[in-house]
Amino acid sequence: MSLVSLKDRRRQPGGLSSWLDRNIRWVFPLPAVAVLFALTILPLLFNLVLGTQDRSVSDALPSRFVGAGNYLQALNDPRFWNATKLMFQFTAIAVPLQMLLGLGLALLLNRKMKAQGIVRALVLLPMISTPVAVALIWALMMDPNLGVLNYFLETLGLSRSLWLADAQLVIPALALVDIWQWTPLVALILLAGLQTMPDEPFEAARIDGASSWQAFRYITWPMLQASLFAALTLRLIDALKTFDIIEVMTQGGPGSASETLNVYAYHTGFEFLRVGYTAALLTLLLVIVAVVAVSVNLLRRRV
Amino acid sequence: MTVLLALTTVLVPSAAQAQTLKWDAYKGTSLRLLLNQHPWTTAIQPYFPEFEKLTGIKLVVETYPEAQFRQKVLVELSTGGANLDAFMLSPGQEGQLYARSGWVEDMDNYVNNRSLLVGNWAFSDFYPSVVKSTQYAGVMTGIPIQTETTMLFYRKDLFQKYQIAVPKTLTQLEAAAKALNGKDGVVGIALRGKGAAATSQFAPYMYSSGSTWLNASGEANYSDAKFVGAMNLYTRLIRNYGPAAAVTMSWPEVTNLFAQGKAAMFTDASLFRSIVDDPKSSTVAGKVGFAAFPAGAGGRKPTVTTWALALSKGSKNKQAGWLFTQWATNRQNQLRVLLKEVPAVRRSVWNDAAFKAQDKNPEWTRAHLSQLASANPQWNPPVSSVGEVRDALGQAIVGILQGGNTQTLLRTAQQATDAIISKEK
């Protein structure tokens, strides 16, 4: 289409194309809005409605409107509080360590080295593995009777550990797997941040005689803030709602010692078939994750 | 069902000379089947083309691993089940819910209706305890296709070496576990300790101790002295003579431990012979002994687990589905699956010369068959919310194994269970 014909069209009053021209900023996002509505907003609204009912999958079990009943029940459910506590415990162990290790890894990878491509590919391997496969392998390694981790502990002269069977140890053990799998993602984001930094400030610092620690503290660190917060937000949201590795490795056990909120909701939904209560639990999870994500973003603006 | 009943009424007067159904009566129909990835499916599926040729019915088959399979069936049935014709069903797990929800056809209306039978199907050939295991809330939820009972697996070599007799009672079982624990690097006995998964394997200990899941008024029976005694025995066996980390063990872990030569005994489903006695997967293959479940104060009461073929109530092709069910459970096909080591549900095929000639382990066959008469089909509490009740009791089992007080934990589980049951009424 030539420029002239475009101009001609614009001059014509009325007609579909002129209407399109005037409202193009609404028309273009329309398909995206429709998809968002069908796949996210509608299910969310349905979830909110379900949360107000005591409902099961079968008509043989009760189904009635309970208003805020499911939410009140959750607040009085010791298992809900236990699950919420475990969710935060898991996140509090996994995410800070991931950030720290990820930063170290990114700084290492940022250096010039031989076979850089291969090293980077190897480091990123855990991240691209299927979580279920990762969980199965780790569960095998952590098996207290047949697993290889206890073999190493014994070789090192340490005593055997129960790993996932120990109610005190199960959350740190699961966090270990999460750290193994997701540290590379943090490293990747931070590495991208490091590589976009201009060389000039570093050259100037070198000329001024700054040590490498000073260069890191006063140049790298402030310039890395945006990447750090991006990685932190991503990992916080993901860690809070971790499901796959926990369900595969422990199903929330032993007992309910590793039953985080997401896992508990899965059990109330797919095993206990209490659809309404599950909807309420998941709404609460959504609120908690949203509050955390928004807080981190507020913090980022203040820093 | 009303249509079917009406049909029955019309046909009853002439039942004596009723023309039996023909295999090709539903030619051109297409049947959708949902099957679990189970040894039975593996054994029978290669013969499906025979059925298609015989009947002119096309089979559209989907198979899934067990957890996904159960969810898939549940979702389809709870939304009407109109596109689903026949599917595998584990009555002890889902029977009560499916029957009370009205999701499955009552097979009673089919097996007793001569006008719907093809050839000499002979339902009387099925083991009565296995047939009973499909009945929930007055509905026969499916036709059995394979069955398992709880039995005792033991290491023959160790029992011989330390001159220990194979336990016939639960008291002897504990004595044997004590005597062998720590010998040659094995634990005395391996049992499931993983919460909900442990409840079904606790069931035979409960029945054999003379207790039941529910009391006469339909409430949880967990404070019954015999129930508590059985729970004490089960958890004591694990704590004193069992493996570390039993609280994470379900059947894959238990059979794996035994297959790795690290346990002297275990009690679990008879089907697991295929894992622990197979040279490819087991270091103790050939040394495994099989015995009937030990008797307790209440007698010898193992449980029997069944997989059945069920028809969806919403299906539009019930008659064709029933043809498939008859075909899949006829004598020839039961023999075929038995020859592939899937425990059959028809009495006659176990006596078939072809099976006797290839029976590698008559000891297992004897132990398995000797139990079917006394076996109890309710390996789960007979409630609709099986998962939730199993979880409540499972939490108590894990608590006890971690050193908690049996009676306190059982009381908590009882309250939880009663709350769940009271909602179902």
More confident residue, A145 or A105: A105
Residue A15 pLDDT? 82
Amino acid at position B418, single letter = D
Residues of B in contact with A263 (CB under 8 A): none
What confidence tens digit (pLDDT) does each residue in A216-226 have?
999 999 999 99
- Per-residue burial over B126-137, b if 16 or more Cβ lie within 10 Å, else e, is bbebbbbbbbbb
Chain-wide mean pLDDT for chain B? Answer: 91
The length of chain B is 425
pLDDT(A2) > 80: no
How many C-beta neighbours within 10 Å does residue A173 have?
22
Residue A18 pLDDT? 87
Is B395's CB within 8 Å of A255's CB?
A: yes
Contact A144, A136 (CB under 8 A): no
Q: What are phi and psi of B293, to 5 degrees?
A: -60, 135
- Coil vs helix vs strand at B350: helix
Q: At what angle do helices A221-240 and A78-109 cross, to 10 degrees?
A: 150
What confidence tens digit (pLDDT) does each residue in B233-267 have?
999 999 999 998 899 999 989 999 999 999 999 99
H/E stretch holding B266 reads strand B265-269
Contact B263, B283 (CB under 8 A): no
**DSSP bridge partners of B88:** B309
pLDDT mean over B33-52: 94
Is A58's CB within 8 Å of B399's CB?
A: no
Residue B385's nearest CA partner among A73, A281, A71, A267 is A267
Q: What is the largest CA-CA distance in chain B?
A: 70
pLDDT(B171) > 70: yes
A57 in reach of chain B (CB within 8 A): yes
Report the Cα–Cα distance between both ends of chain A, in Å, rounded.
50
CA trace torsion B365, B368, B372, B378 (10° rounding) = -150
pLDDT mean over B74-88: 93
- Coil vs helix vs strand at B295: strand
pLDDT(B283) > 50: yes
State the smallest CA–CA distance between residue A55 and chain B in angstroms: 11
Q: Choose the weakest-confidence range: A132-146, A165-179, B41-55, B213-227.
A: A132-146
Residue A17 pLDDT? 85
Residues of A in contact with B387 (CB under 8 A): 267, 271-273
pLDDT(A21) > 50: yes
Check: pTM over 0.80? Answer yes or no. Answer: yes
Q: Which of B194, B248, B423 to mutate to test the interface with A (most CBs of A within 10 A)?
A: B248
Please give the structure tokens belonging to residue A109.
């990878």
Euclidean distance between CA atoms B334 and B144, whole angstroms: 10
A117 — pLDDT class (breaks 50, 70, 90): confident
Euclidean distance between CA atoms A19 and B98, whole angstroms: 57
pLDDT(A8) > 60: no
B17 — pLDDT class (breaks 50, 70, 90): very low
Residue A1 pLDDT? 46
Amino acid at position A40, single letter = T
Residue located via tokens 């200990």: B205
pLDDT(B55) > 60: yes
CB-based contacts of A104: which residues, under 8 Å, 6+ apart? none
pLDDT(B372) > 80: yes
pLDDT mean over B92-97: 92
What confidence tens digit (pLDDT) does each residue in B184-228 have?
999 999 999 999 999 999 999 999 999 999 999 999 999 999 999
A10 — pLDDT class (breaks 50, 70, 90): low
Contact B82, B96 (CB under 8 A): no
pLDDT(B403) > 90: yes
Residue B222 pLDDT? 97
Residue A6 pLDDT? 53
Is B195's CB within 8 Å of A255's CB?
A: yes
Residue A222 pLDDT? 92
Please give the structure tokens belonging to residue A130.
């299927």
pLDDT mean over B114-142: 90
B67 in reach of chain A (CB within 8 A): no
Q: Alpha carbon of B158 to those of A162, A241, B194, B200: distances in Å?
A: 27, 48, 27, 28
Local structure of residue B294 (DSSP, 8 states): P
Euclidean distance between CA atoms B319 and A129, whole angstroms: 47
Residue B3 pLDDT? 47
Residue A102 pLDDT? 96
Local structure of residue B95 (DSSP, 8 states): I
H/E stretch holding B37 reads none
In chain B, what percentage of residues exceed pLDDT 70? 95
Complex ipTM, two decimals?
Answer: 0.81
Residue B343's nearest CA partner among B413, B418, B273 is B273
pLDDT mean over B68-88: 92
Local structure of residue B271 (DSSP, 8 states): G
Contact B120, B83 (CB under 8 A): no
Is A255's CB within 8 Å of B385's CB?
A: no
Euclidean distance between CA atoms B322 and B41, whole angstroms: 18
pLDDT mean over B173-191: 96
Is A253's CB within 8 Å of B262's CB?
A: no
Q: Choose the weakest-confidence range: A55-59, B95-99, B162-166.
A: A55-59
Contact B192, B269 (CB under 8 A): no
Residue A3 pLDDT? 52
Chain-wide mean pLDDT for chain A? Answer: 89
Q: What are phi and psi of B309, to 5 degrees?
A: -100, 125
Residues B99, B105, B110: CA angle, nearest 5 degrees: 130
Residue B360 pLDDT? 80
Euclidean distance between CA atoms B59 and B86, whole angstroms: 10
Q: What are phi and psi of A156, to 5 degrees?
A: -80, 5
Residue B303's nearest CA partner among B225, B382, B248 is B382
What confidence tens digit (pLDDT) does each residue in B308-363 have?
999 999 999 999 999 999 999 999 999 999 998 889 999 999 999 999 998 888 99
CB-based contacts of A249: which residues, under 8 Å, 6+ apart? A135, A138, A139, A142, A164, A174, A177
Residues B371, B246, B199: CA angle, nearest 5 degrees: 45
Euclidean distance between CA atoms B62 and B321, whole angstroms: 15
Residue B16 pLDDT? 41
State the smallest CA–CA distance between residue A290 and chain B in angstroms: 30
Name the pairing type of β-strands B143-155 and B304-311: antiparallel
Is B244's CB within 8 Å of A146's CB?
A: no
Please, where are the H alpha helices in A146-220? Answer: 148-155, 170-195, 200-207, 212-215
Local structure of residue A168 (DSSP, 8 states): T
Residue B14 pLDDT? 40
Residue A302 pLDDT? 77
- Out of A61, A255, A270, name the one closest to residue B423 (CB): A61
pLDDT(A5) > 60: no
Closest residue, chain B, to A64 (C-alpha): B423
Residue B425 pLDDT? 65
Residue A286 pLDDT? 94
Contact B323, B23 (CB under 8 A): yes
A153 in reach of chain B (CB within 8 A): no
Q: Name the burial class of residue B417, with classes exposed (0-12), middle (13-18) and buried (19+) by CB atoms within 10 angstroms of its CB.
A: buried
Residue located via tokens 């008024």: B217
Residue B12 pLDDT? 41
Is B78's CB within 8 Å of A57's CB?
A: yes
Residue B13 pLDDT? 40
Residue B283's nearest CA partner among B152, B150, B155 is B155
- Out of B102, B244, B387, name the one closest to residue A145 (CB): B244
How many C-beta neighbours within 10 Å does residue B108 have?
14
Please give the structure tokens belonging to residue B164.
């220990």
Euclidean distance between CA atoms A122 and A106, whole angstroms: 13
pLDDT(A227) > 90: yes
pLDDT(B47) > 70: yes
Residues of B in contact with A164 (CB under 8 A): 245, 248
